[in-house]
Structure 1
Amino acid sequence: MSNTNLPSAEARVTATVVPGRDPSDFGRCIELCDACATACNRCAAACVKEASSALARCIALELDCAAMCTTAAAIMARNSENAELVCSLCADICRRCAAECAIHDMDHCRNCAQACRQCETECQRMATT
């Protein structure tokens, strides 16, 4: 038996969407979040192979950053009312990860830092619009 007093799944999802915001507004930020998550995961894997305790913080931040970027991209793809909040947090985590990766001389760390900075900039823009 179905309960006709409950809103449909579509109505529940639509209720959490930001009114007046076009989901395509998030396109560039979603792309940069995906690219940043990929760069962070690649760098973390390369750092693990180097097995240096000096890279422990780098690896931890990269894993956090990759997870946050993936979450932010998903939130934006749904045009969630929480997108700006999540983008702000993502920008902060990307900034921390970029700062740590920039300390290290390996190409994968430099590439990760660059991806994080680009994502930080775009997420910050999305958080303030």
Structure 2
Amino acid sequence: MNPNDPAMQACIDACLACYRTCLSTAMNHCLKMGGEHVEKSHVSLMMACAEMCRTSAHVMLIGTDQHKHTCRACAEICRACAADCERIGGMDDCAAACRACAESCAAMAA
């Protein structure tokens, strides 16, 4: 696929938005809040989500069909991150970015 394709560009944008949101939320909001927000499993999931989103965007920008593999994994990790952010609470922006990215990546992986 071509990274200039509108659907792929929208997915790249969703991935980069989720990357920024997860990283920023983890490093600013979660560290400030403490408690459940800084449990290793939660912060690790947020960091994995941010990195997978960055990686998926990168692979799509390269323009290889291998993006289907990274997008599939990204969608799965984003869903898990959204659910964990919702479980803890107070991270609606992060959960929304993760859900939007998961939806876009799932469609791109199909």
Q: TM-score if structure 2 supplies the norm length?
A: 0.90
1:72 aligned partner:
56
Cα displacement (A) at 1:51: 2.2
Q: Percent identical across equivalent pairs?
A: 36
Question: What residue is the counterpart of 1:96 in the other structure?
Answer: 80
Q: Which amino acid aligns with 1:123?
A: C
Runs of 4+ residues deviating >6 angstroms: none
Instruction: Specify the structure having the higher radius of gyration (Cα).
Output: 1
Equivalent position of 2:12 in the other structure: 30
Greater RCO (CA < 8 Å, at least 6 residues apart)? 2
Which is richer in helix?
Answer: 2
Tell me how far 1:81 sits from its aligned partner: 2.7
Question: Could you list the per-position Cα deviations for residues 56-90 of structure 1 after superposition, in whole angstroms to 9, with x for gaps in the alignment?
Answer: 13221111100000000000000123100110000
The correspondence of residues 105-116 of structure 1 with structure 2, limited to 5 A, is 105-106=89-90, 109-116=91-98
Structure 1 unaligned residues grouped into runs of 5+ = 1-20
Partner of 1:81: 65
Q: Are the counterparts in 2 of residues 104 and 110 from structure 1 also a CA contact under 8 Å?
A: no
Structure 2, unpaired ranges of 5+? none
CA deviation after TM superposition for structure 1 residue 22, in Å: 2.4
